[in-house]
Amino acid sequence: MGRRLIAANWKMHGNREFTRRLLADLTAELTRPGACLDNGVEVAIMPPSLLLADCRRGLEKSSLALHGLTLFLGVQNLARWSEGAYTGEISAAMAADQGCRFAIIGHSERRQLMGEDDQAISEKVAQCLASGLKPILCVGETLQEREDGQAFSRVTAQLQQALTQVNPDQWQQVVIAYEPVWAIGTGVSASAEDAQAVHRHIRVTLAALGAPAQEMAVIYGGSVKPETAKQLFAQPDIDGGLIGGASLDANSFASICRAC
């Protein structure tokens, strides 16, 4: 098992007031007497990029540090280029300059809706690592691929193609998020047993690529809820979660963090 990580993907939700209220409520939840987080759990928040500054200020003003807690910031997407005439894009260096530690790369919504292919995703992973960010690389199969018995082969191909530019000394900066496409935003989560099987396969694939697979964080995403989190995180190869809808509610997200 690698390091434990819970990452919040707000997707395209929120505004400045929402950010203020959610961070205040989350701070209260995470610092309640007898309900604080284990020090071994890292927590990252990925708001829309326009809210990064507000999120950073909110965290700096919170009482989390007094309780020994640090919430890291991240972005939901990055450019495949370092700089240039790419209107609307955000570089990895810009994200790092804003205090980000993580970046989500290759989320299925971007693969499907924005047409991102494995080459672009590989270049984004490289940009992250070059700027000192930790990429959270998303992989996962569609429902049709699962029904056709192709879940393992699809995940293997995504890993092989996206990680081609990772140097040996960079492996432990990479986080893998298994997100079955059929479970994202549907309310249907993979069973703990099915998720564990794919997570185990991911570690086998990483090892075959020369990575220190047992030391890397491999997390699960796909309609994780407080009532399913504990069983998922109890699996030997699941190190945490990439949380979507439940991260927009302080009580639910805090419960998921504590389950890790």
The verdict on whether 107 is a catalytic residue reads yes
Say how far apart CA 71 and CA 103 lie, in whole Å. 14
pLDDT tier, 1 (very low <50, low <70, confident <90, very high otherwise):
low
Closest CA to 251 of 88, 80, 9, 30: 30
DSSP H stretches of helix in the chain:
16-30, 52-61, 92-97, 108-113, 118-130, 143-147, 151-162, 192-208, 226-233, 250-259
Checking if the pLDDT of 190 tops 90, the result is no
Say how far apart CA 55 and CA 57 lie, in whole Å. 5
pLDDT tens for each residue of 116-125: 999 999 999 9
pLDDT at 3: 85
- The active-site residue out of 42, 179, 199, 201 is 179
pLDDT at 38: 67
pLDDT tens for each residue of 199-228: 999 999 999 999 999 999 999 998 899 999
Instruction: Tell me the pLDDT of the chain averaged across its residues.
Output: 94
Say how far apart CA 192 and CA 73 lie, in whole Å. 28
pLDDT tens for each residue of 36-74: 676 678 999 999 999 999 999 999 989 888 788 889 999
Task: Give the domain extent around 57.
Answer: 4-259
Domain count, the chain: 1
pLDDT at 37: 72
Checking if the pLDDT of 186 tops 80, the result is no
The verdict on whether 199 is a catalytic residue reads no
Checking if the pLDDT of 188 tops 70, the result is no
Q: What is the CATH number of the domain that holds 42?
A: 3.20.20.70
- The active-site residue out of 107, 109, 123, 141 is 107
